[in-house]
A and B are shown apart, each in its own frame.
Chain A
Amino acid sequence: MMSTNTEQVTIEEKPAEEKPVAKPVAKPVAKPVAKPVAKPVELPAFEKNISDKIVEKFGDKIVVSFVKVNRVGINVDKENVHDVAKFIRDELNYDHVESVSGVDYPQDKEIEVVYHIGSYSDPSLASQLIVLATRAEREENPIPGKDATRLPTLRDIFYSVEFHEREVFEMFGVYFTGHPDNRRLLLPEDWADLPPLRKDFAIKGR
């Protein structure tokens, strides 16, 4: 598309670990190394510092998906999401969740839940957001609340996720274990179809 380059197209970690798997050709080592070398210059220092702290603590349990201006993306599996969130709150001074969005990936048989975590109490972090993403197993024929599509809740860490997680539960069928109030929020009471924001729920006529 438009060829103007944004300053922050910096997804180092992902290509570095994906490339060798995708291309078992003659020189798989040279390319992944060459690419990150050209770009780290643009990495914003403050955000890099935050992601380094998380990497230092959790090592290979997490994957830093991106470091952009004001945004640090962390991918973590569901076993460790609770610990990482606790670390983000207690050690890094983040105190509330702005948004919880579900993203459905039928091709991977997974549903991703993305927490955007911000800070009110620490002025230096006011513009920063940590984008914490974790993935739940996805079932073809969902029975919301009773199938394997489950994640541990973060409500005991960030109180502000209460309604957001209820919304993700009804829209994607992800049951949050430990959430005190896993009821529907927006959908009608007699809704008996698939969770509507899943990709296999189609709008009529489209």
Chain B
Amino acid sequence: MTNEFLPPGLALQKADERIMTLNVGPQHPGSGHMRIIVQIDGDYIVACDPDPGYVHRGEEKMAEYRNYITNIPHLERPVIHDSCNVLYPYVLGVEDLLGIEVPERAKYVRVICSELNRCIYTMYWLAIYGIFLGHSTMFMWPAGDRELLIDLMEKISGARVTHAHFVPGGVRNDLPPNFEEVCLRQVNYFEKRIREYAAVFYDNPILISRTQDTGVLSREDAIRLGVTGSVLRASGVDYDLRKKEPYDVYEELDVHSNVMKEGDSYARSKIPWLDMLESCNIIKQALEKMPKSGSVRVKLKPNPKGKGFNSVYKRVESGRGSLGCHIVSDGKVEPYRLKLSVGSFRNLIALPYLLKGEKLGNMPSVYWSLNYWPVEADR
């Protein structure tokens, strides 16, 4: 068998005394559910080949066997912490196919849920980033503080993760009574709390010396590689879909997108934190502007179907960047084809590029700063 069709890692490597091939993962906690094949020369990485797929579940195939409503619970499995944002483009796409207009209040509830989820995801990501760098405080604090927001989501949807709260036509349930008050109080406290992270983490000279000027992605390369989300914005490209292609009510809210020019691991790790502060700001605006009462869901007929052959591509800004959903409908109750284009998968292309020439010890910080979620990339 020629090397051409052998899977990565099994192909015969040319023997060389200096170059050593290492498999990082898939069981290693420092790689998530994926394997990174690195070739090192002494302490320096000369080549890197990411090998995802250990948590591939065939979400796209499963979606072809279920109708537009029963697709909801399984489609949010790729990122259970960010489940509202994963469902968002799908729900927008189905609404477009069916021609549904969503009530105003539902749009605000969606924005609030989606921003809460972004924070919940980012806090989890930040906790792992902390432990990757051996910073235990930064593991414990975010893991504890995200409970505040998980409690809020539990009040809204009844589930701590995997809320299945978005449905085509609105959201499943209205907000519980007195929610606005509780939400405002929790979010205010949360905001005050994450501002404290700066002192212990982001202004920490040890973190700065470990992450600054490592894995630098220039603006031109970020555009060429087509990366997205925090990775793109850390390289100086101002591109946030909440501003560039506003969906639902983001047009009416004042959204500020955070951009840094450095493009190193430090910038990439700071942008999500700045985004969380921005999310708090958006939630407060949405709570203020939201209609105080009204319907939150348009009831659909059972087994909704699209009209003939049609396709739609909707995208939203998730915790890991642009998340697109391409739905092809053939007029039946199930989608003919459903493709999720996820930020993690698109950011993965930057990993071999950034690790080349980097020290092996910097691998965890560069890898996790890509805001990469293995389960989402595999779908």
Contact partners of A70 in chain B: CB under 8 A: 245
Q: Does A150 contact B (CB under 8 A)?
A: no
The total of chain B residues at the interface (CB under 8 A) is 52
Tally of A-B Cβ pairs under 8 angstroms: 118
Contact partners of A145 in chain B: CB under 8 A: 5
Consensus secondary structure, chain A interface: loop
Given contacts A2-B99, A126-B244, A160-B224, contact A197 B346 (CB under 8 A): no
**In the bound complex, CA of A5 to CA of B96 (Å):** 10
Q: Does A189 contact B (CB under 8 A)?
A: yes
Q: Does A203 contact B (CB under 8 A)?
A: yes
Instruction: Closest A residue to B235 by CB, please name it.
Output: A120
Say yes or no: A186 contacts B322, CB within 8 Å.
no
Taking a contact as CB atoms closer than 8 A, the residue among A6, A182, A188 that contacts B96 in the complex is A6
Q: Does B339 contact A (CB under 8 A)?
A: yes
Q: Does A87 contact B (CB under 8 A)?
A: no
Taking a contact as CB atoms closer than 8 A, the residue among B65, B301, B313, B345 that contacts A131 in the complex is B313
**In the bound complex, CA of A159 to CA of B5 (Å):** 22
Say yes or no: A186 contacts B99, CB within 8 Å.
no
> Can you list 23 A-B pairs, Cβ within 8 angstroms, ordered by A?
A1-B99, A1-B301, A1-B306, A96-B223, A98-B322, A99-B341, A101-B339, A126-B245, A131-B311, A145-B5, A159-B349, A160-B225, A162-B349, A183-B5, A183-B7, A184-B8, A186-B52, A186-B56, A189-B7, A196-B61, A197-B60, A197-B337, A206-B65
Taking a contact as CB atoms closer than 8 A, the residue among A103, A164, A196, A197 that contacts B328 in the complex is A103
Shortest Cβ distance from B93 into chain A, in angstroms?
12
**A residues at B contact (CB < 8 Å):** 1-6, 70-71, 95-99, 101, 103-104, 114, 116, 120-121, 126-127, 129, 131, 145, 158-160, 162-164, 167, 182-189, 196-197, 201, 203, 206
Instruction: Closest B residue to A116 by CB, please name it.
Output: B313
